[in-house]
Amino acid sequence: MRVVSWNIHWGCGKDGRIRIHAIIDVLRKLNADVICLQEVAANHPELEGGASANQFKQLSGALGTYQAIEHAPSEIYRHNTPRLFGNLLLSKYRITQVQRHMLPWPADPVSPAGMPRGAIEAVLDAPGGRVRMLTTHLEYYSAVQRAAQVQQLRRLHGEACARASAPGMDGQLDAPFQLGPRPASAIFCGDFNFAPGSSDYDAMLAPPGDTPTLPLVDAWQAARDGQTRAPTVGLHGYKWPDQAACLDYFFVTEDLAPRVRAVEVQSETAASDHQPIVLDLD
C-alpha cells in the first residue's frame, strides 16, 4: 500500500505561475494507491498565479482511476460563486464511508490571520484490511488554534477506537444508520504546521490514557529509527520559509507500525513550496 501526502500550494511554482499539470505529472510517477492533497483551490483568482480554475475537478479528472473525496473548509461566496480552499483525497481502493470534519477555529486576538481547517476521514478497503485514512492541514499562524485542532484529531481518533470496540457496531442496521465498520487502525497525514519535538507534535503522540485507543506512532521513526528527518519545506529557493524544515507527516496507529516499510520525502520536485511525502506499507 502506497500513500502520498502533499501540500500542493494550489499548484503555484516558485516563479509565481500555476502549473497543475506539473503536480499531476509527479503524482502519476509516484503511482500511489491513495493520494492526499492539501491547499487545493477553486475560483480563487486573488491567489498568487490566479487560481481561477476548479483544481478539485482538474485533479480528480486527470487522475480518473481514483475515487475522489473533496473537503473545502474555506468556502467563501463572491457573486454567488463558491471560492474553495481545502483538501482532496483520491483512492484506488474502495471507500466504504466518509466523514468530513471541521476542526476548531477559536478566536485568537494575538493571531487574527488564518482560515477554517478540516480533515477528511475515509474508510478504505485496503489489502491488509480496512483502515481509516485521515488527511488534514492545520493552522499555521495561530498556536492556540493549532493546539485545539490537534486535540480534536485525538478526540476523533479516540471516538473511532471506542466505536470499533463497542458491541453492536457491525453495520447490520438499516440505512442510513448502516455505516458499517469504522476500524481503529488509522493513518493520519498532511501538513500539520508543527516541528518535530514541538509541544503540538508531542501532543499528537501522547499516550491515550485509559481509553481503548490505539496509540499513534510517527511513521518516519517507525521506518528509520532515529535517522535525521528530511525537510518537507524550504527547498528550491521558495521565498517561504526562510530555512528548510519539516511540517508534513504520516502518523499511523501502533498496530500498523510494524507494516511501515518506508517513508520518503520526494525532494526533487519544485512544483510546490512543500515536498510530497510517500508512505509504503507491507
The tally of domains found in the chain comes to 1
- The pLDDT of 242-271, averaged and rounded, is 97
- Whether 33 is covered by a domain: the verdict is yes
pLDDT at 211: 74
pLDDT at 178: 66
- Whether 173 is covered by a domain: the verdict is no
CATH number (domain holding residue 201): 3.60.10.10
Residue type at 14 in one-letter notation: K
Quickly state the pLDDT bin for 165 (edges 50, 70, 90).
Answer: confident
The pLDDT of residue 172 is above 90? no
* Residue 29, Cβ density class (10 Å: 0-12 exposed, 13-18 middle, ≥19 buried): exposed
pLDDT at 176: 76
CA 46 to chain centre: 24
**pLDDT (tens digit per residue) in 41-87:** 999 999 999 999 999 999 999 999 999 999 999 999 998 999 999 99
User: In sequence order, which residues have a C-beta less than 8 Å from that of residue 226 and are 6 or more positions away?
Assistant: none
- Whether 219 is covered by a domain: the verdict is yes
Q: What is the pTM of this model?
A: 0.96
Give CA separation, 63 vs 28, 31, 32, 197, in Å: 8, 10, 11, 36
Higher-confidence position of 239 and 68: 68
The pLDDT of residue 170 is above 60? no
pLDDT at 222: 96
pLDDT at 171: 57
Percent of residues, the chain, with pLDDT higher than 70: 97
The pLDDT of residue 175 is above 80? no
Helix axis angle for 20-30 and 55-62, nearest 10°, is 40
Q: Checking DSSP bridges between strand 129-137 and strand 186-191, what pairing results, if any?
A: parallel
Closest listed residue to residue 252, CA positions, set 223, 209, 276, 273: 223
User: In sequence order, which residues have a C-beta less than 8 Å from that of residue 21 and are 6 or more positions away?
Assistant: none
On average, the pLDDT of the chain sits at 94
The pLDDT of residue 166 is above 90? no
- Whether 123 is covered by a domain: the verdict is yes
- Whether 172 is covered by a domain: the verdict is no
pLDDT at 10: 98
Judge whether 132 and 186 are in contact, CB under 8 Å.
Answer: yes
The domain in which residue 95 lies consists of: 2-167+180-281
- Whether 175 is covered by a domain: the verdict is no
The pLDDT of residue 181 is above 90? no
- Whether 174 is covered by a domain: the verdict is no
Residue 240 DSSP label: S
- Where is average pLDDT lowest: 1-5, 178-182, 222-226? 178-182
- Whether 36 is covered by a domain: the verdict is yes
> Around Cβ 257, how many Cβ atoms within 10 Å?
19
Buried b (16+ CB within 10 A) or exposed e, 195-206: eeeeebbeebee
pLDDT at 278: 98
Judge whether 92 and 125 are in contact, CB under 8 Å.
Answer: no
- The pLDDT of 160-187, averaged and rounded, is 78
Judge whether 87 and 120 are in contact, CB under 8 Å.
Answer: yes
- Where is average pLDDT lowest: 89-98, 138-147, 220-229, 250-259? 220-229
The pLDDT of residue 234 is above 90? yes
